[in-house]
Structure 1
Amino acid sequence: MGKLRQRATSEKARGVVLYGLGPALGILSGPILAHAMGAEGRGQFASIMQPITMAAAVASLGIPSAVAYFIARGRNARDCYRLGILLGVIPTVIVAIVMVFYGRIVSENQDIPYLLLLICWSSILVSAMVQIRRGAWQGVGQWRLLDIERGAGALLRFLFVVVVALVGITSASYFAAAALISFVVSAAILFIPLPKEESRGGDWASMGKYSFLASIGTISTIASSRLDQLLMPAAASAKELGYYAVAVTVAEIPLVLATLAARNSLQKAAKGASNSAIVRECLVFFGVCVVAVLAILVAAPVVTPIAFGSDFGPSVVPMQILAVSSLLTWIVVVASSVLSGRGYPGVGSIISIVSLGATVLAFVIFWSSISSLTAAAIALCSSAAGAVSGIFLLLKLPRPRQTVVLRSAKERLT
């Protein structure tokens, strides 16, 4: 028992370190990007990169969560993955068409070549497939592979950005290309063969229904945290977006730990774990998250002008506001994940829908005066609304009786 506990602790530590490479190296690369491109160029870089995350979430349509859920419940991993890819074809095509039209607006407002945007945004197709593959490995419980993929992606992205900067390039397009290439290269590791088990056939009806319900929560969660960055290229100047992008780069550090907690809690919830067991599973992640938020609040006024340059002084207050918002978003993400893991993706979606609704309403009200500070305040209010909803549902909704699929200890720890 002691060895199992020690193994679980070491796995959590590995996850924190490798997933933490992203924000850690993001902090190091942030000043490089800021000094190389300036506030306006940094805003253009965000205009290219940020819509990709949101669009890929819509394209995958909750399928990664469905794949993870059914595999964790004992379904064949390869069957679930293939079915997930087939289910993702139509939403991915629809998203691609929408982005072609949205690209015109961003191109004109941010002075970015339209063709360049389309080339970069074509990675949305790859990203949607990668997310489904991650869902498959999440269902299997192969945390080591997922940790390595995220860590390798962060390291490659940092190295590629440094190389571009050392060459003396100042164009946002080259830095965007470096980031996207690093993502594709690191994600290749996920495409090693999934475990080979006896095929049990596909279940279009069950997975399709779960994916649709889960998509509401998945899309709403990402939309509520990313919608500001998706809409700002059309509503604000490149300079304001540059300030906001720097603030987000630092303030979203705690959300990396939310990803770790969410992936573990979904699988455990699908296996029938209680609220108290899931809290124990996430406690280390949440503790580190709180420490990270406090560090940002204290250090931001001193470190930001030094690291990013005096031009980015307006990023300090939005950064502090967004740090607190990240802590609340952490609660939203994990609560939604637990409810989805218990087979209630529709109920879990209510949390993020509340948060998204608050974001949309605030943007409509303040559309003509959107700045980095306004956007940060909107993010805080929407996260607070979602967190309150999440806590309420977890406390009020009883844990359903369900048949837990048992596996050997060796398989669970693979």
Structure 2
Amino acid sequence: MSRSVLITVVGNLFPNVAALASGPILAHALGVDGRGVVAAATAPLTLVTTIATFGIPEATTYTVARHPGLARMTIGRAAALTTVAGVCAMGAVVGAAGWLSGGSPQVHQLMLIAVLAVVPNLLVGVLRGVASAHHLWGRVALERIFASGLRLLALLPFWLTGHLGPTVATVILAVMPLMGALAYLGLFRRFADPAEDVTGHASYRALFGYGMRIWVGSISGILLSRLDQTLMTPLTGSYQLGLYVIAVTVSELPLIINGSVRDVTFARDASESADDRLAAAARISFFLCSAFAAGIAATMWWWIPRLFGAGFEPSVQVALILLVAVALGTPGSIGGAGLSARGRPGLRSLSLVVACAVNVVLLIVLVPPLGATGAALATLVGNLLSSNLNLVLLQRYFGVPVRLFYGLRRSDVRMLRNLLTSVLRRGR
């Protein structure tokens, strides 16, 4: 599991490094307002590519992890469900583009261009779900490396020649994630002909049923983390959104660790549940994310204005609040993965729905007077709610005490030491 986490960390680290490299390029080329225009145009794409999954990628991982012989059948049915959902989502964005653009003709036009990438992005998610179920974390890491690396490479020539405007930037940000599908070439050859699904585990009904139970949580989670960017343009304007996008980019760096541990834990716990392993993963992830967040918080006042430009200096305060939100949400994130892996994704969804409802109310109340700072405070409250509700539900239904998810144990320190030793040996 440690090796899987390390590989996934590398896969998650590269996109964030690429984002830090491309962030200043976009900021300097477009300015605060231009960066806000691109963010407003691409925010619905990010939003619906999570909403329109209907939990099918996670259902694919869960089904294939428990029934490997049904991989081919699961992929075909999951792809069909995902395509239908994606087309419906595109229609919804097109219908709402006038309002989401805040009345800006430029944002409206670019939003319609970006939304064309919805269905292909969703299909890549199905492939990722199958690879995760088979613990092919190398391929998952390559997908993220290809997608983010090619995005950076595509931005560079336009920036260097002075042709990086909002239209070009929107097209690149929307299309380049699709290049990650290259990592899954030849994936189907790993699987034998589909076995007969006599139990119905890979049926449309089973996939959709599990997916819907986890989807409610997924949609609430993405609303919790991305709805703010979609609503900020009509609530407060593109300038505040431009500041907020930079703060989000910086604050999500610790999620490299948490996301890696969560993904591996979900697949492992779906194959074989273990309370001690689940709690240890949460504690170690919390410690590492908190340490990472503290390091960023202590230095970002110096490098954010230099890296992104003096106009983005107000993002520092916003990023500080978001870093606290990310760190405090770590234990419950792992706990939520445990709920889903043990066949109770609806419980995780309940936590996220409650947190999302509170978050939306706070966004409407706080964003108009406080701008980006108000959105960050709303995210902090939402993360605290969803994290702790996950842990309370895990204790109630599976008997895993909440206290096990906080504080390092001696065994955790030994695990961290052994992991560090392993990394150093591989480095040599």
Same fold (TM over 0.5): yes
Do 1:332 and 1:351's aligned partners in 2 also have CA atoms closer than 8 Å? no
Counterpart in the other structure of 2:390: 390
> Would you say the 8 A contact 1:110–1:237 is kept in 2?
no
Contact 2:83/2:122, CA 8 A, preserved across alignment: no
The residue type equivalent to 2:55 in the other structure is: G
Partner residue of 2:46 out of 46, 50, 53: 53
How many residues are treated as equivalent by the alignment? 393
Contact 1:62/1:215 (8 A) holds in 2? yes
Please tell me whether residue 105 in structure 1 is matched to residue 94 in structure 2.
Answer: no
- The 8 Å contact of residues 37 and 107 in structure 2, kept in 1 or not, is answered as no
Aligned equivalents of 2:364, 2:110: Cα separation in 1: 29
- Aligned residue for 1:180, secondary structure, equals helix
Q: Show the 5 A alignment for 1:129-148.
A: 129-148=123-142
Report the AA paired with residue 374 of structure 1.
G
Equivalent residue number for residue 22 of structure 2: 29
Query: Aligned AA for 2:294?
Result: L
* Structure 1 residue 370, shift from structure 2 partner: 5.4
The one of 94, 100, 112 equivalent to 1:118 is 112
Equivalent residues of 1:58, 1:91 under 8 A apart? no
Alpha-carbon contact 1:59-1:95 (below 8 Å) kept: yes
Q: Is the CA contact 2:155–2:164 (under 8 Å) kept in the aligned structure 1?
A: no
- Is contact 1:213–1:349 with CA below 8 Å preserved after alignment? yes
Structure 1 position 245, deviation (Å): 0.6
Which of the residues 4, 10, 20 maps onto 1:17?
10
Deviation at 1:34, TM superposition (A): 1.1
Moved more, 363-372 or 121-130: 363-372
Q: Which residue of 170, 176, 182 maps to 2:176? A: 182
Equivalent residue in structure 2 for 1:128, among 122, 125, 145: 122
8 A Cα contact 1:106 1:112, kept in partner: no
State which of 83, 87, 104 in structure 2 corresponds to 1:93.
87
The gaps in structure 2 that reach 5 residues or longer are: 401-428
TM-score (norm 1): 0.89
- Provide the aligned C-alpha RMSD in A: 2.0
Q: Verify the 8 A CA contact 2:100 2:231 in the aligned structure 1.
A: no
Q: What residue is the counterpart of 2:153 in the other structure?
A: 159
Residue of structure 2 equivalent to 1:196: 191
Map of 1:321 onto structure 2: 321
The separation in 2 between residues aligned to 1:18 and 1:58, in whole angstroms, is: 23
Distance 1:67 1:381, change over 3 A: same
| Rounded Cα–Cα distance in structure 1 between residues aligned with 2:33 and 2:332 | 32
Letter in 2 for 1:196: F
Structure 2 residue 354 is matched with structure 1 residue 354: yes
Deviation per residue, 1:309-342 (Å, 9 max, x gap) = 1111111100111111122343343222211110
Kindly state the Cα deviation for residue 244 of structure 1 after the two structures are TM-superposed. 0.5
CA distance in 1, matches of 2:375, 2:260: 26
CA positional deviation for 1:399: 6.2
- Partner secondary structure for residue 253 of structure 1: coil
Which letter maps to 2:191? K
Contact 2:336–2:391 (Cα < 8 Å) also in 1: no
**Is the Cα–Cα contact under 8 Å of residues 285 and 330 in structure 2 kept in the other structure?**
no
Residue range with higher mean Cα deviation, 190-199 or 288-297: 190-199
- Structure 1 unmatched runs, 5+: 1-7, 401-414
Identity %: 25
Match of 1:409 in 2: none
Alpha-carbon distance in 2 for matches of 1:380, 1:208: 32
Q: Is 1:43 the equivalent of 2:25?
A: no
Inter-partner Cα distance in structure 2 for 1:73 and 1:11: 18
Q: TM (normalized to structure 2)?
A: 0.86
Cα deviation for residue 364 of structure 1 reads 3.1
Q: Secondary structure at the match of 1:60?
A: coil
Q: CA deviation at 1:31?
A: 1.6
Q: Which moved more, 1:105-114 or 1:23-32?
A: 105-114
Structure 1 distance, partners of 2:11, 2:338, is 23
Q: Deviations for 1:37-88, whole angstroms, at most 9, x for unmatched residues?
A: 1110111111122221210111111011111001000141111111112222
1:81–1:133: 8 Å Cα contact kept in structure 2? Answer: yes
Residue 325 of structure 1 contacts residue 384 of structure 1 at CA under 8 Å; is this kept in 2? yes
